Amino acid sequence: MSVGISIDLVSYRYPSEDAYALTSVGFTVQPGDIFGLLGPNGAGKTTLMSILTGILKPEKGRIIYSQGELALSEKEISRAIGFVPQDFAFYPELTPVQNLEYFGAMYDLTRRDIKRRTDELLELLGLSAVGNRKVGSFSGGMKRRVNLAIGILHQPQVIFLDEPTVGVDVQSRQAILDFLVRLNQEQITIVYTSHHLAEAEQLCNRIALIDHGKVIACDDLDVLLKTNNSRDLQSLFLNLTGWSYRD
């Protein structure tokens, strides 16, 4: 059964800052969604993603993970979620096989499960032929796929992806997107953030737009486009967040 997430009036302020990075943020990620968390630079996306993955604790509000009517415990949440960060989270001097062995041990997987999942993911992500080459020698697209494999090695029920296709070529981008759709067809919930709005429009069924630490729109993508008289996600984004430069 898929896992959903309720974000209940979450606020957060960094200790060194006077202003809040997030203010009373609330919305629901339905089980099985491919949910786009979008906004300009500095909108609060990274802070919210850090709270959702347990890196930060909210100052106010709460995050509830649920499966059906049952809320998950902290231990269950840690097993249920996978995080694929924008920055590469692997050891470049190791091979994909060695990286997956290392992170599989950190996930407390058995040697048998690590071997099975490694073989499976390298095949699915087109990395079998380079499984024993050092990752540091790989292209950007290949590194992105290794990053993805590590984040989903333990078969999480919710996957958080922060700019999963940044800096890759068209073929690698499409291969990653196709793979994410396949995962979602297995009832895995996906929360995704990106500045590639055409990509987000292709991938996501629901969208939350965040600006200045607040949710300014959240609904099914087709509903948001219709109610805001926007032809596509880019025009919707600009209509709601403005045309000014963002740092």
DSSP secondary structure of 182-236: HHHHTT-EEEEE-S-HHHHHHH-SEEEEEETTEEEEEEEHHHHHHHTT-SSHHHH
- Confidence (pLDDT) at 63: 97
- Confidence (pLDDT) at 143: 95
Domains of the chain from N-terminus onward: 4-241 (3.40.50.300)
Position 245 confidence tier, pLDDT thresholds 50, 70, 90:
low
CA 223 to CA 204: how far, in whole Å?
13
Per-residue pLDDT, averaged over 79-105, amounts to 95
Residue 28 DSSP one-character state: E
3-state SS track over 29-68: ECCCCEEEEECCCCCCHHHHHHHHCCCCCCCEEEEEEEEC
CA 144 to CA 164: how far, in whole Å?
7
- Confidence (pLDDT) at 207: 96
Is the predicted pLDDT of residue 171 greater than 90, yes or no? no
Average pLDDT, the chain: 94
Per-residue pLDDT, averaged over 93-120, amounts to 96
- Confidence (pLDDT) at 138: 95
Q: For 41-65, what is each residue's pLDDT tens digit? A: 889 999 999 999 999 999 999 999 9
Position 244 confidence tier, pLDDT thresholds 50, 70, 90:
confident
Q: Can you read off the two tokens belonging to residue 136?
A: 């540091």
Per-residue pLDDT, averaged over 68-75, amounts to 91
The percent of residues in the chain predicted with pLDDT above 70, rounded, is 99
Is the predicted pLDDT of residue 247 greater than 70, yes or no? no
Beta sheet of 158-162, edge-to-edge order:
81-84, 158-162, 189-193, 34-38, 206-211, 214-220
Residues in the chain, overall count: 247
| Greatest alpha-carbon span in the chain | 54
Is the predicted pLDDT of residue 30 greater than 80, yes or no? yes
- Confidence (pLDDT) at 69: 87
- Confidence (pLDDT) at 246: 64
Task: Say if pTM beats, i.e. exceeds, 0.75.
Answer: yes
The percent of residues in the chain predicted with pLDDT above 90, rounded, is 87
Nearest residue to 159 (alpha-carbon basis) of 29, 59, 247, 47 = 29
Partners of 210 in the β-ladder: 215
Contacts of 198 (CB under 8 A, 6+ apart): 232, 233, 234
Helix ranges (H only) for the chain are 45-52, 74-80, 96-106, 111-124, 140-152, 170-185, 197-203, 221-227, 233-241
Is the predicted pLDDT of residue 235 greater than 90, yes or no? yes
Q: For 180-223, what is each residue's pLDDT tens digit? A: 999 999 999 999 999 999 999 999 999 999 999 999 999 999 99
Is the predicted pLDDT of residue 106 greater than 70, yes or no? yes
Which amino acid belongs to residue 238? L
Instruction: Judge contact between 25 and 10, C-beta under 8 A.
Output: yes
CA 37 to CA 218: how far, in whole Å?
9
